[in-house]
Each structure stands twice: as structure tokens, then as C-alpha cells.
Amino acid sequence: MAPSSTKSIVPTPAHPIYPSRQEAVAAALRLDILQGRIPAGARLDIDEIANRHRVSRTPVRDALKQLEGEGLIQVLPYRGVEVTRLTAGDLHELFAIRIALERLALAQAAVKVTDAELKQLRRILRRMDKLPIRDETWMKLNAAFHDGLHAASRWPRLVELIRVQRTNVERYVRAGAAHLGAEQQQAEHWQLVEALTARQPELAASLIAQHLSRTADTLARMSAVAASGPQAADHEGGEPC
């Protein structure tokens, strides 16, 4: 059964409980990376992380292995550990994987979603409609909306695969939020809900593919411009996305 309110979908506990020190360190580093406090290309020092979190080096190493598996960091010979940089090609590849996975998830969701889940998805979108800018609240609601779409597939292994791919590109989505066309994206969100309501698997799969493809194209273009230098970035800033 779906939660009775949007707040229950976007939990913000003051003191989250983690099953281990490794999980606590991994969660803290993941959040810092996703929110841009640790930028792409930044080097990570195991001793500094251990001291900051008051743990030994072992849980830090284990946490870094976990984040490496999620694609957020990479271990480089003679250079240590650094936050992964994603090129335009990387972004296209990751979104192609997401599209394949999420087409399957939405097709399943269209035949399995409950009325309570549809009501909850609409409640989230109505809250998003009222937000004038893409702030942290908007990002959390957007994540909750997509989580709800995936959960409705009733395939937990598929949901986990999608989560890993989403995590890897989330920092780029945050950085490029102002360029992604909020009105168009929100209209596409509503179209997805209507496709689920109508129990149309093929339409739902097609809509999520279009939704993610537009995001991928915008973020890849921004990544390519950033890699080509400040002058190109200034030029790109004057063009509509």
C-alpha cells in the first residue's frame, strides 16, 4: 500500500541509522559527491576521511569500494582515489543503460500500479507544480516521483539496477537542473502518470525513453562544452537548452 503523504516518501531523519560504519561513511561521501561538495576529479584521502568520521581506515576502504562499484569514484594507479569524471560519451552510455532498464520498469508498472500509488504520484507532481525553482525540495520530490514509478514495477532487482545508474548521473542532473527545461520535464511527468493510469505499457515505456533521452542530450552537451573550455561555455550559456 502507498504511503498516505508525500512526506513519508521523502524521509529526512535528523539522525539516520546505518547498519555499519562502512555504510555511514559511504552515505556521507555519496551525499557530498551528489550535491557537489566534492567535485568531479577531486582526490580522496583515506586518512583524512577516517579522521573526519572518527573511524579506522578499514571501513573507509570498504566504503570506497562500495562507491567505486556505484561508479562514483575510481582508483587510479599512482594517483590514488578520485571522484569520477563523466564525459559526454559516458553520459550517453549511462543514460542508454537507464533507458533500457526504465523502459522495462515502466512497462511492468503500467500493468501492476495500484490506484493508491497513482494517487501518490499525482500528489507529488502537484507539489512540484507549486515550486517556482528547482531547489533541493524539487530535487527530492523528483527523486521520489521516479522512485514511485520504479517501485510500481514490483521487480526489486530491476529497481536496484536503476538506482545504481541514477546515482552515478545524479550530480550532473543537479548541476544542469537550470538547463533541463522544468516546464517540459514536468509535463512529461504528468504524461507518464496518465500512461500508467490508462494501463498502456508501450506508451509508458516510450515516454520514459523520450524523457531520459532529452535529459541525456542536454547533460552531454553541457559536459562537452565544459571540457572544451570557458569560451565555449560562455557561448553555450547564451543558447537555449
Residue 125 sits in a domain whose CATH number is 1.20.120.530
| Parent domain of 98 | 88-237
pLDDT band at 179; cut points 50, 70, 90: low
Whether residue 2 has pLDDT greater than 50: no
Domain co-membership, 109 together with 197: yes
CATH, residue 46: 1.10.10.10
CA end-to-end distance (rounded Å), the chain: 39
C-alpha cell at 54: 572518527
Number of domains in the chain: 2
CA distance 32 to 72: 11
Q: What is the pLDDT of residues 182-229, one digit of tens each?
A: 788 899 999 999 999 999 999 999 999 999 999 999 888 888 877 665
69 is a domain residue: yes
pLDDT band at 18; cut points 50, 70, 90: low
Domain co-membership, 69 together with 26: yes
Domain co-membership, 140 together with 221: yes
CA distance 222 to 149: 27
Whether residue 10 has pLDDT greater than 80: no
Q: What is the pLDDT of residue 12?
A: 41
Whether residue 234 has pLDDT greater than 80: no
Is residue 29 within 8 Å of 70, Cβ to Cβ?
Answer: no
Q: What is the pLDDT of residues 118-134, one digit of tens each?
A: 999 999 999 999 987 77
Is residue 33 within 8 Å of 171, Cβ to Cβ?
Answer: yes
Domain co-membership, 69 together with 92: no
Domain co-membership, 109 together with 220: yes
Amino acid in position 220: A
State the pTM of this model: 0.76
Question: How many CA atoms lie less than 13 Å away from 101 in the CB half-sphere?
Answer: 22
Q: What is the pLDDT of residues 48-58, one digit of tens each?
A: 999 999 999 99
Q: What is the pLDDT of residue 229?
A: 59
Q: What is the pLDDT of residues 200-212, one digit of tens each?
A: 999 999 999 999 9
